[in-house]
Structure formats: C-alpha cells, structure tokens
Chain A
Amino acid sequence: MTTDTTNSPRQIGSLSCLCPNASFSSSVFDDAQWNLLGEQQHQDKVNEDEFDQIEIEEGEGGDEIKPLELDHSGSSFKDPQLGVLSQSRVFFEQFPLECPREERIRQILSMGSMERHGNGNNHNNIHINGNGNGNVAALEIEKPRSKHRIRHSQHKSLQFDEDNLSHEDNPRLIYINDPRRTNDKYEFTGNEIRTSKYTIITFLPKNLFIQFHRVAYLYFLAIAALNQLPPLAVFGRTVSLFPLLFVLCVTAIKDGYEDWRRHRSDRKENNRETLVCQSGDFRMKIWKKIQAGEVVKIFANESIPCDMVLLGSSDPSGLAYIQTMNLDGESNLKTRYARQETALAVSDGGMISGLIRCEPPNRNIYEFTANMEFNEHRFPLSQSNIVLRGCQLKNTDWIIGVVVYAGQETKAMLNSAASPSKRSRLEGYMNRETLWLSIFLFIMCLVVAFGMGLWLLRHKDQLDTLPYYRKRYFTSGRDNLKRYKYYGLPMETFFSFLSSIIVFQIMIPISLYITMELVRLGQSYFMIEDNHMYDSSSDSRFQCRSLNINEDLGQIRYVFSDKTGTLTENKMEFQRASVYGKSYGSSLPMVDLLQEQNIVAASAGRRWKLKSEIAVDSELIELLHKDLTGDERIAAHEFFLTLAACNTVIPILTHGTSSSCIKSELQEDSGEAIDYQGESPDEQALVAAASAYGYTLFERTSGHIVIDVNGEKLRFDVLGLHEFDSVRKRMSVVIRFPTGAVKVLVKGADTSMFSILDNGTEMDDHIRNSTQSHLSGYSSQGLRTLVLAARDLTDEELEVWQCRYEDASTSLTDRVAKLRQTAALIECNLKLLGATGIEDKLQEGVPEAIESLRQAGIKVWVLTGDKQETAISIGLSCKLLTSDMHQIIINGNSEDECRSLLADAKSKYGVKSWRGRNSSLKWKEDGILALPLALIIDGNSLVYILEKDLESELFDLATSCRVVLCCRVAPLQKAGIVDLIKSRTDDMTLAIGDGANDVSMIQMADVGVGICGQEGRQAVMASDFAMGQFQFLKRLLLVHGHWNYQRVGYLILYNFYRNAVFVLMLFWYILCTAFSTTSALTDWSSVFYSVIYTSIPTIVVGILDKDLSHKTLLLYPKLYGSGYRHEAYNLRLFWIMMVDTLWQSLVLFYIPLYTYKDSSIDIWSMGSLWTIAVVVLVNIHLAMDVRRWEVFTHFAVWGSIIITYACMVVLDSIPVFPNYWTIYHLAKSPTYWLTILLITVVALLPRFLFKVVRQTFWPSDIQIARELEILRKHGNLESKKDQGSS
C-alpha cells in the first residue's frame, strides 16, 4: 500500500479500470444467480419488474457505464407476464452492490420513477447513509410524516450526494506550513470558537427577539399595548407591563447566566496554548490564533485544538493513538496514521510543505476525504489520517499535524447542535383546552360589551347628568358641552370589549408556560439525581437532554427497542466456532482450564495475556497443534488467521503486572499483556479469541501486521483493506504472507457471504451445508454469527485489484462507492473456512424490566438488525416471548406473499380491525386477544408492507399481538415502524437505542431514549433522555414517568382553575358595576395574583408531590396504565374542574356580597377581602389535593397565604393608593374573618364531597395502592405481593 501508492496517481475515474470490473461483476452475478436458483428453489423467480426497470433507465440515462451484467440478466430472465414473486432481498444482498449499480439507482431515482423501485429501498438507504457526507445528515431526517417517508429521505440524501459532487469543484486547499497562503485565497475561520449565543451588545435585542417567538409573550405584549390606549387604561400603565417584564426578565437572566457560563468556557478554551510552528520553530500560541495551514505539535495527553491532518508522530511509522471520548463517547483508543511519506519527513526533522485538498467542512465525524500533494506525489487521506478537535492524544509522545479545519468549522463544533425539540402530548391537550378558555374569555367579554351597550342605550338620556358617568362638560369655558371620553355607542361597546379582555387576560394562563418550564426543570433535576438510574459501569447518570417532554414518559404505550447494546450489553464473547464444517465450543464451560492452559503453555511456550479470559475448546486446540497438513488443518489455520488479521483492532502492549490467574500458571512470563482496542466489540472478541487459540495479533501498522502464531512471529504485509460497510456486510483484507503468497481474507454476515463463495466440489457443498446448519443453530442460541472465507489471489487479479484500489482510495468523491466496487473484484469465489458464534449477553435486569413494562400495559417491540433466529432467541431469553405464545411469522418475499400471510394470520386468530375494536371496547380490552400472539416480521417483508397498502393490515395484526419482533430492519425502517404506530393511533411511542442506526427511530418517536453504550454517542445526541442501561427504563417510565405525568396533569388543571376562578370572580363583579370593567381589586393585587400570590405552591407541588412511592409503583406496574388512559388530565376532568370553578367563583362573589349587603363597605375593602379569599381558597384547594406534605410544601402553601397578607399590608401602607389602610380596618372586624372561613368551606365542600364519594364508592387503582402503601406499611405489602401482581 505504501510503496505502490504513487504508481498511477492520475487515473481517477478512467474507464480502463471500470471495464474489467464490469465484466467481472457480470460473472459474479452469474454465480450468485446460480446460487439463488440452485439453493433456494422455492424462490426461483427474480423480480422481473425490477430488471425491466433498471434496464429501461439504463437505456435512457446510463451512458457512462456499460451495464454488462444487467443486459445479461435482463435478457435471460425477461418474462414480463410473470407475477411478481421475486426474492428481492436475496437479489439485493447476494449481488455485489458495487458502484455502477448505485449510480444507476441514483439516476433512476432522480429521474422520478421511484415508485416502482421501492423494493430496493432498504438497501439503498443503507448505502446512502454510509456514504460520504450524507451520513450524519441523512440520519437527521426531519420526521417525514407521509407514507413515502423513506423515499423522501432518500431524496434528501441524494441531494447530499449532489452537494458532495459540486464541492469537488472547489475543494479546500491547505498549504502545509504556509498559513498565509492558505488563508489568502479563502477566508477560513480562525480557531476561535464561540458557543455563546450573545455578546453584551446583541444580548438584549437578540434575547428579546428569541423570547418573543412564543405566542404567549406576544399575547402579553398585545394586552399590555392595549392597556396603553387612553380609553382602555384599565390598569395603571406600569402595572400592566409588570407581568411581561417580570417574565422577560426572569428568562433573560436565566439565558444570560447560561450564556455567561458559555462565554467563560469559551474564553478558557480559546486561551489555551499549544506549540505551533512559527518561522521554523515550534512556539507556544494561544488556540484562538491558530489558523488553517499551520503546523501544530501536540504532546501526549493534550487535547487537539483543531481538526488536523496527521503529518508525523513520535512513532517512526507515523502511528498515533487518540481518545475520542469527547466526540463520540467511545472510550477506546483509536489509531490514526500519518502517511508514511510525511512521517518519514517529520522524523528526519525536515519541515514539510505540500498541498492538501480536502472537502469543505462537514459534520460527519466518521468521514474525511482529502488528498495530499507532497514531494510531487499525490496520495489519499482518509478518516484514519485526521485527528479531530476535542480528542486527546494518548500513548504517543507527540504528533505533528497540519490544521485543516479550525474553530467553528471543526467537526466537533459543527456537531454540537442540539437535537430538535419535541412538544409534549399533554401540552398539546393543554392548548386545546386553552382554546376553550379563550372561547370562555370571548364570551365573557361579549357579555360585558353587550351589557355595556344595553346599559348605555337605556341610560342614553341620563348619561350627561349621571353623577357617576357625566358624559359632558358643563363649564362655561371652551370645553362646554364637550363630550368627555365618550366615543359613541358602538365604539364604547367595542372599547368595553377590549378593556374586558385586559381585565380578564389571565383567563389564558400565560404563567402556566413558565410554571411548567420550572416544574420540568425540577423534575429533571430529580430524575438526574436519582441514584437508581446511575450506571456505575459506565459512570453515567441519567441525562435529560430535552426539557419539554417529562410528562410524556408517563403515557407511553409502545416501546420500540433496539436489541444490540440496548437489551444486550454489546460486550461480545466468543462462544462457538464452526471450522471446516465442524462445530466446536459446545462443551466450552466444561473444559478444565488448567489442563488447557498447560497445553497452550507447553506448545506455545509463551502466551499473551489478555485482559479478559476466554475459555477455549480443547478439541480445537488439539487440531491447531497438528502439523499443517490436511484441508481441515489448513482451514483451521486460515480461520484463525482471518480472525486475527481481518479487522481493524489495535493491539496495545502494556507492560506491567496485570493481575491474572494465568500469570501464575505460566512459566517465564514477561508480564506483558495485550489490550485490544477496536471500534467494534465483535472484532475485539474475535481477535481475543484468536489469541486464546494461539494466534495473537501483536502489532498493527498501516503497512503490516504481526501475528504471533504459537510463539512464531509472522509478519504479513497488508496490501489493502476493505472496511466493513452495511451494504456489503463484510470486510476483507488482502495480505501477503511471509511466503509471498497473497490471500484475501473475508469475514461477513452469512447472507452476504454465501453468495460469493466458490462452489466447487461436493466436499465444499457438504461443508457449506453443515456450516449453515451450525449457523442456524448458533443463531437460535442467540449468538451473533459471522462467516469467514478466504482465497488466494493470482498475480493478475492482484494487479487489477491494486490498480483499482489505488484509484478508488485516492479519489475525493464517491470514495466509498468506488472502494466497494473494488472490493467486489476480490470478494468472490471464496473458500469457506467456517463460522463464528459470538454471544452478546443480555444486560442486567432486562427480562425483569420487560416483564414490568408489559405488565404496565406497554407494548414492547424489538426492532433489530439481527437474524430472525437470533432475534427470537433473544426474545425468549429476555422474556419478551414466552412459550405459550403463538408466533405469527411474516416472512414474505413479495407483496402478494406478505398480503396473504397477513390475511391468513388475521383470519386464523380472528383479529378485528383496530378501529372496530377501539370503538366497541374502548380501553377495557385494549386489543389484546385472549390468545397471546407474537408477531415476528423481517425487514424484507416490511419493505413490501410499509411501502404498499398493507400498512393497515400490519397495523391491525401488530396491535393485537402482545409482542412484535422485527428483525433485519434497516434504520429508516425502524423509523417507519414507529411512524406506523404514531400516525395511526394516539398512543405515545418511545424508542430506545444505542447506536447510530437508531437515530432515525429515536427522532421519530414521541420520546427518544438513548443508551450511553458501546456504540458511540450518536443515539444519545439525538435522544431526549439518555441513560446507562435498559433496565432503567422501567424506573424511568413506571416511577418518574408516572410521577411527572400525575404532577404535570394536575398542575395544568390547577392552573386553569386558579386563573379561571379569579377571572370569573372579577366577571361577576363587573356585572354589578354597570359593566364598566371596574375591578375591586387593586391593580397590584391583580398582577401579583398569578405571579406571586399563588405561583410558588403550584411549582413546589408540581415538582415534589408524589401520589405513590416508587416501591409501590414498581410493585404494581399496572398502575402505569393511568398515564396512557389519560386519567390525570382529560377533557372530562377539565369540564368537571370548570364546573367546580364556576361554583367556587360564585361562592367567592356572592358570600361577601350578601354579607356586606346594605353596609357601608367600600370598594377597596371588598377588593381586599376578595383578594385574600381567592388566594386562601386556591391554596386550600391545592392543599386538599396535595398527596405528600413535605416541609417545602408546607412552606409554599402556607407561605403563600402569609406572603399575600404581607403584600396586602405593604400595599395598604402606602398612602398614595386609595386603598390605604384598608387591611388594618378589615382585620379588626370579625365579619371579615368569618366571611373568609365561610367562603373557603362552602366553596370547597362540593369538591371534598365529590372526592370522598369517589374514593368510597369508586376508588381508583392509584387510590387503593395509596391506601395499601400508607395503611399497611411495607412488611404487610410483601405478603400481599402474590395477590397483587397476578
């Protein structure tokens, strides 16, 4: 690789290289077709339509590439009359999906004939996601709502491809060590970063601008503006602005504080120093001054200031290890290489100058495409040559690199955008009821306006002289007979309407939005601080990434879970091996460790210690210690060579006293141990297994690997490496043996491997068959399987491949596609070596969690990319599937097949349509039939079902099953399934996953939960909540979800009530003031009411109130049902609440009215009485509903009443106000106190009665559980456990 790179640097895209490939592919096609016909005879028809389609499009637009294989296929299978019974999955998977096909697909799609091509979606998507810039971007689908969502996003990703192409024209030119020239041409950003939103100058306008994006604030503003008009000045001008200013200030202070923190961290970050080459010397320079093109030197454990191309390191071969924890959360070390050429130059001490052409900045941290001209050679740069900002240098003394992206253009900064925010369901309902409240408001204003109109009409003649109205001036001066503030009847009516809006403004509970935000903040705090959701193994707390949907956690009906890494630990353990048709490892645990160690020790003399211990199969060990003769022995040899070589794992030698029991067993141990660092846990497991069998990967550089084969160190040159991608589903490595032979070693998923195997002798067939049976055996045990194969390369093949490989790997565009094409050259006619089975252990507590979730009435659907057998076995082991369930397996290969399978299943189990079920039985039956059903469906069938009209059929079937398992699904299909539920029901969905492939699902679902696991942080970044283990989901939903839902549900109702009762009270009074919108309450009391007098208790109760303890909630998961049955907040409760409000407001108004009838009470005393009465009333109302009185609750509830009194006293002590001294007078009279007492009792009596009657005769589950919890205490609970959780 390193020496050959310069041979043909300028042949990018030349046709001479494409042609052999095309013909080559055609032969591959033949083979594959043969396999298909030979082995899977029940599926012998190829999708004719598909081929026609491709062919036609080819004829129109495919002039660049001659589609040899398609001409071929088209002619040999042309039979347009045949029904569509194709096995498109096999078609797509078994055929090498190299570049020409993709370009065709793109043409086809872009030409608009996408409908017919829907079959291929699955794979197209995968491909496009894995390709170039599109990667991250394509995953960020913006929740496509339509049925065509998959196509839609395809379209999007295609556009990204296009973008990529267009950027090819102006790549970024970096002149190494010449920042001036680099920055002359383009204005690249400096390395200064700014995560803050505001500066001191922009803060006010920008913050206000952002804040006024909320409709609520605009309402506020409009009301305040209305109040400034002279005829409408209901409140004093400053008073009316107070609520708005208050809210704006609070939010601004919060934002300002957050931004200040960001400023501070930015400043700290920007002023860090690092060594930069300045006029030949490395000198310290602060980070923000670093520019693109500069050469930077970083020492071990320092962090990287910007995205740099590695030029050289302390390691002569240019190797560097970095930790990308900050970037993607993966804690393992990753290797980065400097190109050999530059590394040599660096180690010679010379200064480097050259030119790097790289793609424009993008946010994909897993891709980098560039090339470098250096010493008149041109060579490719890729992901492995770049170190990104935010990473840390480890295990390497120093590195030198050239800055390519700086500051805001670094991938880390481009990735720091927040995930899109979601709105909670409850808030949606709340808005519906807010609409109702607006209608009430409107009606009330109309009543006032009409009343005013009528009153004016009736008193038309008297208006001039009425002492309390006086329309005219009766002066002798110039004002004589002028009207005073009278604009005619219609206008007066209208003004009265407007001013009543001002008076009644808080009917729309604006403060509720702020209250809810604060409450959610508090709830999030408690969720984060929950010790039970702390994962000690990864040292991760629960994270709330979204603050808007806490209460949605209490209403989840469907959980969509990823399997790998979510249900399982994603810590792989090598369990089984099938070598040359023979299965090993079944008796694994029985092997005597000591004896086995002795064998190893005796034969190998020395064994590398591994971090983890791996049990080995003694039979296989024996086989490996035979002489290297015989097919089986050679296959075993190659098998382990492949395991050791075909990967991207980095061995790290650590010297020291790693404590291990093996050490004592082994003689003359040097104390050296190997730690394998790799991106894929599967690979680590395989390499570790190979090591356990004596094939220890010992050293890896970009050019070679050293494998210790039973004590003999063998050096293999790595000629090329085709990394794993999700289209090919395999990886291969071309290595030159010390003997000079060149072999390609391949490992991959069984579906992608069997089609590219050589089919020769009977023996091969036998091995293949037995391997396949082993594979199905392994996967039924829940193991993850991989198939290994190898073949020798002839010199011609090698030459052709090398030429192509150089081309492809230096190309700037479509590198992935071209490499894939190249890989197809050699990944064919392989000789099967065997298969491996890796166990992915279930996470702790998963079965219990799933069981609880199911009891809670939550349907758990597992969506996995694994095979059906694996999925079922995992399903069984995590108690998702139980033996008494009837499994419906939908495994169709065509639309018709799927249709009939669905129809059969529906008729067999008598599934009714969802709507019918729903309308007839409501919540009672919940669509679960007496017979427990489990639906297992594979991605292939989903392609047909989700694209065609079968969606509703699937939906009907799936919703009547207890369990749905979807296997072999692509990331976008996951989102599709979530959308299937989301668009057809009102039920809340939650998606939980840990990998990048779950991102689309997580963003699609109402609630997305990310697991901080082994697979990076992409899922976490996209999620709303993130946690360490799946089992926390149980606590998150059943406990915190329940609490949050109950709290927020009550909070909303209470806030509606609190404001409505106040407004209604004002309304009744206005009817007694000749409709003149007088408020008996002082301006300040009106304003303080919702801001100060009554807000704190709702917040405290919203954060702290708990109906049930977490123990009870976990003991009776069914209590969770109250959430998705909308028991804490629904329209019925709203209306009951409104009726209660009406009663309470009438009591509030009329009791003082009758008490002070015919008395000399003045308006301010009355107002003062009403203020206190309403505050006492709403607080006692709240107190009646509080279910858990903590110190804070007492403080808040009683404190508010005291604060209200204090405010009244203060306000009444200011002589400016007309209400001066009122409260002192009132407080002296016993009538006042008796009135308040009477109001409180009479107003709350119906509510209390209602509560008591309900709890006596129709107790809710929560109520019973509460009684159980409080009255019976814990010891008693245990004994009832069996009874309770039936």
Chain B
Amino acid sequence: MMSSNTASSSAVVAGSADPAAPRRNSKKPKYSRFTQQELPACKPILTPRWVISAFLLVSVVFIPIGVASLFASRDVVEIVDRYESDCIPPGINDKVNYIQTPGDKSCNRTIKVPKHMKKPVYVYYQLDNFYQNHRRYVKSRSDAQLRDNSSASDTSTCKPEDTVNGTGTLPIVPCGLIAWSLFNDTYSFSRNNLQLIVNKKDISWKSDREHKFGSDVYPKNFQANGTLIGGASLDPTKPLSEQEDLIVWMRTAALPTFRKLYGKIEVDLEQNDVISVTLQNNYNTYSFNGKKKLVLSTTSWLGGKNDFLGIAYLTVGGLCFFLALVFTLVYLVKPRRLGDPSYLSWNRNPGGR
C-alpha cells in the first residue's frame, strides 16, 4: 500500500502525471475504523481480580491433574531388571571379546512380581548410553529403500553400511547403521514352568508397517558385510513390513537412555509370581559401557511409570494457589487505586521536571 504511494509520488515528481486525468477531488484519507486504528478491541489489564483469578484458575486446573497423574503413575507396576553385567559368566574379564565370540550366551534371570499386573504387560528392553540420536547414526538410513523394492540401490546415505564390500553393486537391504545395529537379545518368560507367550505382533506403529516399510521389500545381503557384525540378522523370507523388531528399532530414540518395546505378555501377572527369564545376551553394549535392562510394565492412560508430571502439576498448582493468596493479601494490605493519576511520575514528585 505504501509502495504504491511512493511510486505515484515519484512519478509526479518526474513530471509524468497525466494531465488528462482530473486531479482527485481530495486526498483526504477515507475514514474507516481500520485506517484510523479504532477497530473494536479488547484491552486486557492486570487488575487484582484478574491476577488472583488467573492464579486460582491455574491451581484449580493443575492440582486435580497433578493428583490424577500421580495416581495413574502409582498404578503402573514396573519391574526393571538390569542384566548386562550379571549375564557375563564369572571369570571373564574381556567382556567385549566374550560378546563378540559366537556361542551360546543364554542367561537365566528370575523376577518377582511385586504387585498384580494387569494385562497386557509390556516387555521393554532399555539401553543406556546408546546415542541413537547421534547425527551420524540418525542419518544412516534410506527411507526410500525401506519403502519400495525398486529403490533398493538407493543407499547413498547409508555409509558405511551401504553395499556389500563397498562394491556398489550389491546393496544391503535394509542399509545403514541403524538397521545394522539391530538389537538382538532375546527373552523368553515362564511362570511356574509354564511358558508365557510374548506377543510380538503390533509392537510397532501401524503407520510404519503400512507405509514406511514395504511389504515387497525383503532383507538382502543383511549382516553379510565384513567382519564386524552389528546385531541381529533378519529372516530374508519375511518382508520388512513384518519385521517388527526392526521397525521398532528404526524409530530411533530421542535420548541416549531409551526403552524399546519387545513384546506384550497378554496375561495378568499376579502378585508374588516368580517369573523366570531365559535371555540370549547377544548385544554388544560392553564396548561403550552401556547398560541393558529388561523392563516389564503395565500402562495407564498416561503411559508408563513416571511421577514427574504429577509432581510438577501439583507443585505448580500449589505455587499458584500460594501466589493467589499472597496477592490477595497484598491487595488487601496495600491496595493501589488503579489508574490514579496521582501515581503518575510527574505528579508524585511535583518538583521534578
């Protein structure tokens, strides 16, 4: 709007005004509430009532939420079992070498259920100090390849796990460090010598299965590259969309300590049940001192066991309630008449200025 104005005025200066066109009757700006900046508007102001009600509102909303979240979190039963050091047979010092050497690395653990756990009980593995969010790692994947069989050779982003022996002719599917380092510990649970079925279906996002991992893409040349094995190998007869462990793993974690869903136990676990776990301790976290934990957990509407939200909500709600009280007191004890001109700086000290 402004630009047009300057343009026309410069044209006038340049002598290019059209003489034939009659001069506008008046340049008087047309009145409108918009141009005069008089549009109806709400002008909020922090009156004591507003301030106190704002604080009260926050506390009224937050405290119940806090209580609810806290209850939800307390309802969740979580069993965490750290096993990476216990599962190294005694007497072995070079843990890295042990884990890299092929062989049976099964390990038995027993877990006592502290409280009744309602089904489904989620089985997670938790890794520590594993920077799945490292830039090198996050980028080391090819989404095109995962989705579509025809883009199998689209591996430019996957180095150094792109092609077999770096020849460039045999692409690894799925390529990249993420897939290569697929977690390969396995767990099997039994209660009272009865096998507990771990359901590994639907542990990944449906959207991932349907759209990101192609049903016609089969693993090729996977873990066949070089001397260093990163992790699990995949069944070359199953399409990627059915390799749910891979799909879960490929959703890289946000933080260096993370859990990933292993499966679901679809029966209730009773209090004091003793569950024995047979696990294959294959995954090498020893080279970077990573912990490995097995987690069994139920969920609530809020997710897993985490008191943080509840405590935070309660704290903030409480603080706001306290502030509301403080300000109520302040306004009672030392009220300031709002909009009193005598408070204006030049009225307060009449001598000055």
* Chain A residues at the B interface, C-beta cutoff of 8 Å: 193, 195, 234, 254, 257-258, 261-262, 265-266, 268-269, 301-304, 326-327, 388-392, 410, 412-413, 415-416, 418, 459, 462, 465-470, 472-480, 482, 484-485, 521, 524-526, 528-531, 534, 536, 539-541, 543-545, 547, 857, 924-926, 928, 1021, 1072-1074, 1076-1078, 1080, 1104, 1106, 1116, 1118, 1151, 1153-1167, 1186-1193, 1215-1218, 1220-1221, 1224-1225, 1229-1231, 1234-1235, 1238, 1241-1242, 1245, 1248-1249, 1251-1252, 1255-1256, 1259, 1261, 1264-1272, 1280, 1283-1284, 1286
B residues less than 8 Å from A526 (CB atoms): 35, 37
Residue of B nearest to A1224 (CB): B207
In the docked arrangement, what's the CA distance between A1188 and B255, Å?
Answer: 42
Residue of A nearest to B231 (CB): A467
Q: Does residue B325 face the partner (Cβ distance < 8 Å to A)?
A: no
7 CB < 8 A contacts A-B: A466-B287, A1160-B258, A1215-B147, A1230-B302, A1231-B303, A1267-B338, A1284-B344
In the docked arrangement, what's the CA distance between A1242 and B308, Å?
Answer: 14
B residues less than 8 Å from A474 (CB atoms): 160, 225-228
* Of the residues B15, B36, B160, contact of A472 by C-beta under 8 Å: B160
The reply to whether B207 and A1286 form a contact with Cβ atoms under 8 Å apart is no
The reply to whether A195 and B134 form a contact with Cβ atoms under 8 Å apart is no
- Shortest beta-carbon distance from B168 to chain A in Å: 9
- Shortest beta-carbon distance from B90 to chain A in Å: 25
B residues less than 8 Å from A262 (CB atoms): 7, 10-11
5 further A-B pairs in the complex, CB-CB below 8 A; given A1215-B211, A1259-B336: A257-B3, A390-B15, A459-B288, A485-B136, A1251-B46
- Shortest beta-carbon distance from A257 to chain B in Å: 8
- Shortest beta-carbon distance from A924 to chain B in Å: 6
* Chain B residues at the A interface, C-beta cutoff of 8 Å: 1-7, 9-19, 26-31, 35-37, 39-48, 51, 54, 58, 62, 65, 69, 124, 126, 130-138, 141, 143-144, 147, 159-161, 164-167, 177, 180-181, 205, 207-208, 211-212, 225-228, 230-231, 251-261, 284, 287-288, 301-304, 306, 308-309, 312-313, 316, 319-320, 323, 327, 330-331, 336, 338-347, 350, 352-353
The reply to whether A543 and B254 form a contact with Cβ atoms under 8 Å apart is no
In the docked arrangement, what's the CA distance between A474 and B100, Å?
Answer: 15
B residues less than 8 Å from A1268 (CB atoms): 339-341
- Shortest beta-carbon distance from B257 to chain A in Å: 7
Known contacts A254-B3, A928-B353; is-contact A1074 B312 (Cβ 8 Å): no
B residues less than 8 Å from A1161 (CB atoms): 253-255, 258
* Of the residues B207, B225, B306, contact of A1158 by C-beta under 8 Å: B306
In the docked arrangement, what's the CA distance between A1118 and B165, Å?
Answer: 79
In the docked arrangement, what's the CA distance between A242 and B344, Å?
Answer: 49
Residue of B nearest to A1122 (CB): B345
The reply to whether A1221 and B5 form a contact with Cβ atoms under 8 Å apart is no
The reply to whether B7 and A258 form a contact with Cβ atoms under 8 Å apart is yes
* Of the residues B1, B46, B137, B225, contact of A525 by C-beta under 8 Å: B1
The reply to whether B352 and A924 form a contact with Cβ atoms under 8 Å apart is yes
The reply to whether B166 and A1118 form a contact with Cβ atoms under 8 Å apart is no
* Of the residues A258, A326, A412, A1270, contact of B3 by C-beta under 8 Å: A258
In the docked arrangement, what's the CA distance between A548 and B192, Å?
Answer: 81
How many interface contacts (CB-CB < 8 Å) are there between A and B?
Answer: 365
B residues less than 8 Å from A480 (CB atoms): 165-166, 226
The reply to whether A1078 and B29 form a contact with Cβ atoms under 8 Å apart is no
The reply to whether A521 and B2 form a contact with Cβ atoms under 8 Å apart is yes
B residues less than 8 Å from A1155 (CB atoms): 306, 308-309
The reply to whether B327 and A1252 form a contact with Cβ atoms under 8 Å apart is yes
The reply to whether A1231 and B309 form a contact with Cβ atoms under 8 Å apart is yes
- Shortest beta-carbon distance from A558 to chain B in Å: 16
The reply to whether B166 and A303 form a contact with Cβ atoms under 8 Å apart is no
A residues less than 8 Å from B330 (CB atoms): 1256
In the docked arrangement, what's the CA distance between A459 and B29, Å?
Answer: 71
- Shortest beta-carbon distance from B34 to chain A in Å: 9
The reply to whether A857 and B2 form a contact with Cβ atoms under 8 Å apart is no
* Of the residues A301, A545, A547, A1261, contact of B345 by C-beta under 8 Å: A1261
- Shortest beta-carbon distance from A979 to chain B in Å: 26
The reply to whether B131 and A1076 form a contact with Cβ atoms under 8 Å apart is yes
Residue of A nearest to B58 (CB): A1241
Known contacts A462-B287, A477-B166, A526-B37; is-contact A1264 B339 (Cβ 8 Å): yes
In the docked arrangement, what's the CA distance between A665 and B10, Å?
Answer: 48
The reply to whether B2 and A1286 form a contact with Cβ atoms under 8 Å apart is no
- Shortest beta-carbon distance from A601 to chain B in Å: 39
- Shortest beta-carbon distance from A1168 to chain B in Å: 10
In the docked arrangement, what's the CA distance between A202 and B94, Å?
Answer: 71
B residues less than 8 Å from A534 (CB atoms): 27-29
The reply to whether A265 and B35 form a contact with Cβ atoms under 8 Å apart is no
Most buried by B among A389, A543, A1231: A1231
B residues less than 8 Å from A1076 (CB atoms): 131, 133-136
Most buried by A among B143, B227, B346: B346
Known contacts A254-B3, A479-B166; is-contact A469 B137 (Cβ 8 Å): yes
Known contacts A531-B36, A1252-B46, A1265-B344; is-contact A475 B10 (Cβ 8 Å): no
